[in-house]
Structure 1
Amino acid sequence: MSLAETASSRRATEAPAASFVLRGIVKAFGDKKVLRGLDLDVAAGQFVAVIGRSGCGKSTLLRLIAGLDAPDAGAIDFDGTVGVAPRVMFQEPRLLPWANVIANVEIGLGARRREAGARQRALDALAAVGLADRAADWPGALSGGQKQRVALARALVSRPRVLALDEPLGALDALTRIEMQSLLESAWRREGFTALLVTHDVAEAVTLADRIVLLEDGAVALDLEIALPRPRLRGSPEFGQLEETILERLLGPSRRY
């Protein structure tokens, strides 16, 4: 059984994740063509990391998948439809400073904030990220890592089928980043969504992803399945070999150091 099939069967009783397909995606900004006929298939429940050099189109791809921008050519289909609205988690937590923590999480429910049980869903989402005791606090009283936990709770409270993550851990210190990686992986395994992570951190990609997709010249240059068991051991020879392989593909063996 493939990783995609395993992921789908493991989550069969959870909220349904969505698969999506990109065909012939083109996106340009002025005279600069960022994506050039890109094709990509992502199975329901997979965790896919997108890496590449700065300016290769990683964030552009994520914005297109999230519906924040539109391609100039090509098509994006979710489960054969266009009805899926992915949630997005950005590098900055983007919390409203005039709203307390629980109110910031409730924003993720949209119009459903007024439904019965909405407050409890928001409290449950906060508990899942370890901040149940901070519901009444203001964002200004939180650390950077705690703010990102609130942002994750806000993204998860609506039980998304697809979660797009645009370098959400990039501004955190090293230890907090590792803690957040573990929290994100736990949320993915528990909730069953399809995840698309844009990151510059190869070790982070190997830690979290089922697949790593490398972009070059506006297209997919490498699509690598990560078959390591979870949780992943950063110090293991297998982890190190995968990281080495990807770094050599990114930088070239003579330009690593």
Structure 2
Amino acid sequence: MNGEKIDMSESMRKGIYILPNLFTTGSLFAGFYGMVATMNGDFKTAALWILVSSIFDGLDGKVARLTGTSSKFGVEYDSLADVVSFCVAPALLTYKWALQPFGRLGWLAAFLFVACGALRLARFNVQVNTVESKRFVGLPTPAAASMVSAMVLLFYHFGWPSSYKKLAILVLIYLLAFLMVSNFRYYSFKDPELIKRQPFAFLVLAVLLLVVIAAEPVVMLFLIFICYTFSGIVGFLMTWPRRRRLEKAIHNKHTKEEP
């Protein structure tokens, strides 16, 4: 602990990198403004600002890696900003938008989302050097917050009655809280192969996807986030037989080696 404090102090004396931390600050501002909009009863605007926050959050890490400006300060600042933008802001939004009529059960559900999000971030920080960079362990907090925002925007888009949203958001909050602290693997989109040359068909598919998103942005955003949310569960189920065979083979090997 003392060693980490000394390293951080030395890094602070040398200065901090402005550009990536500006993007992190933008993410923090968007998340905070989302809470302000929630308190003013403008839930649609709050959902949009949480989505804006997730865009800034995705850019700060990429900017830091591309410019070689990654730092311990940036990592810690990013985690603190994520707690506000992707834990507290969406939890407050869900509580004011749908969970408040449940009373104590409502705010406890919102708190569970905050707690699981914070735990997810803490686990990520301690496992960042030991886990495969192409996969996240547990649903990332920006994805969970974006899923909440997409749900809110979908209800406004179709004008569904408020009685539906209470049960839907209650189930969603518990599901997202569980997925954030689960061991399901989620694609991180940090694969270097993504920025290398790809077949021409990939460009055509990307253009078609943009056209579809532009035609129905709210519906497509919801579908994208719901697919990503369940991708960890689907991946776990698809690889379960292979993992079981591998575990059985390892067990049989150890059994044969025993005298």
TM-score bracket for the superposition, by shorter chain length:
under 0.3
Question: Which of the pair is proportionally richer in helix?
Answer: 2
Question: Which of the pair is proportionally richer in strand?
Answer: 1
Say which one has the larger Rg. 2
Q: Which has the higher contact order (CA 8 A, sep 6+)?
A: 1
- TM value normalised by structure 1: 0.23
- TM value normalised by structure 2: 0.23
